[in-house]
Amino acid sequence: MNNNTGLVLDNRYFNHVIERQSLENPERLRNLYQILESPKYKGRFTKIDPREIHISDVHTVHSSFYIDQLRNHSINKDPYSYDKDTYLMDQSLHTAQLAAGGCFQLVDKIMSQELSQGFALIRPPGHHAEMGRGMGFCILNNVALAARYLMKNYGLNRIMIIDFDVHHGNGTQDVFYEDNEVLFLSIHQKGIFPFSGDPHEIGKGKGEGYSVNIPVFSQFGDTEYTFLLGRLLQSLVEQYLPQFILVSAGYDAHVDDSISGTTLSTDWYRTATLMLRQYAEEACDGRLLFILEGGYNPVSLESSVLATIDGLLQPMNGRVGVLHSNRAEKVLHNHPARSFWTI
């Protein structure tokens, strides 16, 4: 049994919903929750209840102007009055505060050593939400709020955020672009929404070098992703020595998710989890928190999240083997991050 892993799941996350069809909807999680509450997983993890974060916590990342917009648009009769991809209903802001609060609860449990690692199975997602606007289904930036919470409440100043969603985490980058207390690494498909994440986006001011963007080509799959993640983790973790690792865990790079052209298998997410656990153990006493982002085929999302959870629960048996990939090596050739880090 491994009760050192905490999961946040709460049916109140289903309250953010519209009658019209949307890729981001409660059905993404409903069956997954049922599986995790079945006898198969009984006693294998600790279930953590979320709390709703205070609006003052939201202000640590998002502007007053944006928060006022959320309040006003959430009561508008047209749920898409704010953004064509980001619907707002009367329960949306509350649900988003509850999503971020699930992350805060796990942070507290991990920092108090009640848990070693966790996964916030929350919605709506967050990594596209910038300081002054939401977009791409995202309302509040959950991973950025968790990082700010770690800084404010625990005094941490070396936090690593790893984003493997197929889309660039533009909102997270926006929040920390001039900050050297967060090292942001994004591996994402090139040339798709939100059309950001170029390798030359490296940060600004004291944050220069602390944004590392790895855009990949469509058809990249397990071999290429494993090589890139392994190479970058080995280099960046050993040089930066993070005190906590946050993961924006998106599952839309799966081969069966039609929103992307990448070809990751379900098992890749287990492999990636084991790699992340290994480096978290070596750098920061295992402090590792996954936060759900994208993934819009409910079947592949379910299987891939379960693969991640199995990777969190299973015993560690040494390092994951990493095969060389010439195609992936070319992505790192002459990368601007080489001016700041050995990769």
Please state the φ and ψ torsions of residue 162, each to the nearest 5 degrees: -115, 125
Which neighbouring-strand residues pair with 291? 120, 248
Q: Would you give the end-to-end CA distance of the chain in angstroms? A: 37
Range in 16-20, 23-27, 62-66, 253-257 the model is least confident about: 16-20
User: Which range among 5-19, 32-46, 80-94, 153-167 shows the weakest confidence by mean pLDDT?
Assistant: 80-94
Residue 11, amino acid: N
Judged against a pLDDT cut of 80, whether residue 135 lies above it is answered with yes
Do 138 and 131 touch, CB atoms closer than 8 A? no
Distance CA 127, CA 295 (A): 13
Please check the confidence at residue 284 and state whether its pLDDT lies above 80.
yes
What's the rounded mean pLDDT across residues 290-311? 98
What percentage of the chain carries pLDDT values higher than 90? 91
Residue 4: name the closest of 322, 249, 315 by CA.
315
What pLDDT was estimated at residue 337?
97
Tokens of 92: 């949306």
- pLDDT category at 246 given cuts 50, 70, 90 is very high
The amino acid at residue 118 is G
Going from the C-alpha of 193 to that of each of 71, 128, 295, the distances in angstroms are 26, 10, 14
**In the chain, what are the domains?**
5-15+23-339 (3.40.800.20)
Rounded to the nearest integer, the mean pLDDT of the chain is: 96
Segment among 70-79, 144-153, 292-301 with least mean pLDDT: 70-79
| Residue 133 confidence (pLDDT) | 96
- Mean pLDDT across the stretch 162-168? 98
Does 318 or 34 have the greater pLDDT score? Answer: 34
- The per-residue pLDDT for 107 is 98
Cβ proximity of 207 and 176 under 8 Å? yes
Average pLDDT over residues 296-314: 97
| pLDDT at position 75 over 80 | no
pLDDT given for residue 1 in this prediction:
42
- Rounded to an integer, the average pLDDT of 29-57 is 97
Least trusted range by pLDDT, from 19-23, 248-252, 334-338: 19-23
With CA atoms as reference, report the closest residue to 10 among 100, 140, 126, 117. 100
pTM comes to 0.97
- What is the structure's pLDDT at 3? 60
Active-site positions? 128
Distance between alpha carbon 138 and the CA centroid of its chain, in Å? Answer: 12
